[in-house]
Amino acid sequence: MVTPAEAKRNQLLATIESVAVPKGYHPASILIHSEHESGRFEKIIGWNNFWGIKVPKKREWKGIVVPVITHEVFTNNFHFVKFLNKKLPDIIEVRYNERVEMVPNIDKPEEKRARKVRTWTVKLTDSFCDWPREKAALEWYMDLIERLYPNAYDNRNNPPEFFKGLVNGTRKWATDPNYADKLIALYESVKDKEEPGANA
């Protein structure tokens, strides 16, 4: 029996294949990104926001707005303070964590050195877009990728490189420093048995 989440996934995949694949996208690039952001299609924002797209700051938005409690993660104190000052009225909680990890020594790569890693996790209420139809949501998503994430757009037919492109440019899709790795791990876990387009 197909669950509601599986039905939504299958429906989105059909839309991706009809709308995005003709424009050069590998279906897994969008589907895996959707799966990660939507909690495997169980936590979709509104009707069709599969990617956690927020209401744009510099572009007029006349569509549906959905308030959602979300989290942002920072490893840079400057960016954390800047975000804090901008979003202060919407912030619910801030958690600080400090850990030590071993990394290669710059002068002697074969040796390891200890590095302190600090993270700030901010819980807040933010405003997200929504669309009544999947096709409209997907078209907005693809336009966003093309305009603001050129490294991802240029690699839209190569899922792992597409995922890296979401965070290695001027704009970053998420503040989680392990974001691309998580997407790639999810892609690797399913590509051999159920990768979209694998049997095409």
User: Span 59-83, mean pLDDT?
Assistant: 90
| Average pLDDT in the chain | 91
pLDDT at 194 over 80: no
Half-sphere exposure of 50 (CA within 13 A, CB side): 28
User: Span 138-153, mean pLDDT?
Assistant: 97
What's the 3-state SS for the chain?
Answer: CCCHHHHHHHHHHHHHHHHCHHHCCCHHHHHHHHHHHCCCCCCCECCCECCCCECCCCCCCCCEEEEEEEEEEECCHHHHHHHHHHHHHHEEEEEEEEEEEEEECCCCCCCEEEEEEEEEEEEEEEEEEECCCHHHHHHHHHHHHHHHCHHHHCCCCCHHHHHHHCCCCCCCCCCCCCHHHHHHHHHHHHHHHHCCCCCC
Higher pLDDT, 171 or 107: 171
Note the pLDDT tens digit of each residue in 93-122. 999 999 888 878 877 777 888 888 899 999
Q: What is the pLDDT of residue 109?
A: 74
User: Span 30-40, mean pLDDT?
Assistant: 97
User: Span 142-166, mean pLDDT?
Assistant: 97
Quote the pTM value: 0.80
Q: What is the pLDDT of residue 177?
A: 85
Fold category of 1-52+133-200 in CATH:
Lysozyme (1.10.530)
Q: What is the pLDDT of residue 41?
A: 97
Q: What is the pLDDT of residue 104?
A: 81
Higher pLDDT, 181 or 75: 181
Confidence grade of residue 182 (pLDDT, cut at 50, 70, 90): very high
User: Span 177-187, mean pLDDT?
Assistant: 95
Edge to edge, the sheet with strand 112-130 lists 64-74, 112-130, 91-104
Higher pLDDT, 157 or 86: 157
Q: What is the pLDDT of residue 199?
A: 42
In this prediction, what percent of the chain has a pLDDT beyond 90? 70
Q: What is the pLDDT of residue 193?
A: 62
Confidence grade of residue 198 (pLDDT, cut at 50, 70, 90): very low
pLDDT at 197 over 60: no
